[in-house]
Amino acid sequence: MELNRLTAHELTALLDKGDISPVDICNNIIKEIGQKDKGLNAVVHFDPEKAIERAKALKGRDSSAALWGLPIFIKDNICVKDELTTCGSKILEGFAPPYNATVVDRLCRAGAILMGKTNMDEFAFGSSTETSFYSVTKNPWDRDRIPGGSSGGSAAAVAANEAIFALGSDTGGSIRQPASLCGVVGLKPTYGRVSRYGLIAFASSLDQIGPITKDVEDAAILLKVISGHDNMDPTSVDKSVPDFPSLIKRGIKGLKIGIPKEYFIEGIDSEVRQSMRDAIKKLETLGAICEDMSLPHTEYAVAVYYLVATAEASSNLARFDGVQYGFRADQAASVIEMHKKTRQEGFGSEAKRRIILGTFALSSGYYDAYYLRALKVRTLIKRDFEEAFKKYDVIVTPTSPTPAFKINERTEDPLTMYLSDIFTISANLAGIPGISIPCGFTKSGLPIGLQILGKPFDEETILRTAYSYEQAAK
C-alpha cells in the first residue's frame, strides 16, 4: 500500500485498527523522497534515520493525540530545536535554534513525527520559491514551472506525496498561492489564531503560520492542533479553539457568499475565470446564495503591502549581522566592515531589494509620504471587509490570477512577480482567515485554486464552505 498517498485522517483510521505503524508511514515517505526529490527540490533539511528513530519512539497508540504517528514537514523559517532553520538564506547558514516554535511543541504533543524542513523563498521574500539559497523548487505537475511561494517547498512536497501534510507561513499569500498552483489545500488563519513564537519574522503584523494539506478535513485537524493562545506571543489572541473537524460537515444551505468584482479584472487567465464561474455555480447548487459585491480599495492592496511588508522586513532583518550566529564574511578589517560584507554576501538579491525599499519608506522625509500613508489605506482595506461581512458569511475569489508560470519567466521583472499575490494580499492586510482549495485544471493540466475568505476567527465557516465544495466537486 502506498501510504504516502493517503490523507492524514485515512492514515489515522489505519493506525487505530493496528493495520499499519508510524514506521511504515515514515518508510513510505522516505522512499518517495529518495525517488522524487532530486528532481523537485522540495525538501532541504532531512535526516531519514532521525525520522525513523522518532517513529520508533512512539510507544502504544494514543487515541487522544490527534496526529499520533503522522509525519509532518516544517517550512524552513519555523524553529525546531537543535535542527537547521535557515529561511532559505546563506546568512543563516548552519543556524540551529536553541528552542522550538510553539507550533512545533504542539505538533509533538499531538504525536506528530517531525521529518525535516521544506524549501522556501529566502526569508519568505517571493511568490515562486526561486529566491532560495538552496535553488528553485519545481512544480510536481510540470517541472518547468514554479510551485508558487514562499511556501513552495511545503506545497510541492504535499502535492508530490513526499509529505502527508506540512506547515507553511503566509505573509501575503505564501500558503494559499502555492497551494493553488500545486493543487492542494492551504489555509491562512486569522492573525492571532496561531502563535508566531519561533517563526523567524518577515513582516510581524502580517505573518501567520498555517497548514498545507491534501484535503480540507486534514486542514481542519491540523489547524485545531496548532491553534490557541500563547503567552510567548504578544499578538496571540486568547480565544477558545473550536473543534474544527467536527464542524465542517454541516453543509452551506442558506450561506451568503460575496463575489467581489475587483477580483475578476482584465488580465485574469480565461481558464481561471471559467473555473471560478463553475465553482460558484456548484456552490449555488449546494444551497449557497451568491451575489456580486465590491471591495473598493482592493486596487491599492499591492502598493500598501509592498510598503508595509518591506518596512517591517528591513527592521526585522537588521538583526542578521554575522556576530552571534549564521554566516560571517571573512577577511574584514573592522567590525563595521564585517557587518557590511556579511550582509552583502549573505543576503540574496531579492532580500537586498526589500531591505532597501523598506529602509527608504521608513527614512526621514519619506515616512509620512509612504509608510504612514500606507497604514491609513490599510485601514480602509480592513473596513471594506468589515462592511462586506455585515452582509456576507464568506467571500469567494480566485486564489491566483494565473496558473503556475515557467521558471525564470518573471525573475527579471519584480513588479510582475509581485502582482502574483494580487488576490491574496488583502486578507493579510485585514488580518482575516482565507483558504485555497483545488477547483479544476487548465487544458494543459495545471491546477487552479479557489479562495474563500471569512470573518476574523471564523475559520469554521470557510472550512465548512471548502469542505462542502470539495465533497461535491470531487
Inter-residue contact 103 to 194 (CB < 8 Å): yes
Residue 17: partners with Cβ closer than 8 Å, 6 or more residues away = none
Catalytic residue flag (residue 64) = no
Inter-residue contact 300 to 377 (CB < 8 Å): yes
Q: Convert 140-163 to b/e letters by CB count within 10 Å (16 or more is b).
A: bbbeebbbbbbbbbbbbbbbbbbb
Strand 394-398 with 256-260, pairing? parallel
What is the C-alpha R_g of the chain?
21
Inter-residue contact 409 to 142 (CB < 8 Å): no
CA-to-CA distance for 269 and 348, rounded, in angstroms?
Answer: 31
Catalytic residue flag (residue 75) = yes
Catalytic residue flag (residue 174) = yes
Q: Which of 132, 150, 436, 468 is catalytic?
A: 150
Determine how many CB atoms are found less than 10 A away from the CB of residue 203: 22
CA-to-CA distance for 312 and 141, rounded, in angstroms?
Answer: 34
Q: Which of 151, 174, 227, 426 is catalytic?
A: 174
CA-to-CA distance for 210 and 223, rounded, in angstroms?
Answer: 7
Angle at 246 between CA 240 and CA 252, to 5 degrees: 100
Sheet holding 185-188, edge to edge: 43-46, 113-118, 71-75, 165-170, 208-213, 185-188, 434-441, 447-454, 394-398, 256-260, 289-293
Active-site positions read 75, 150, 174
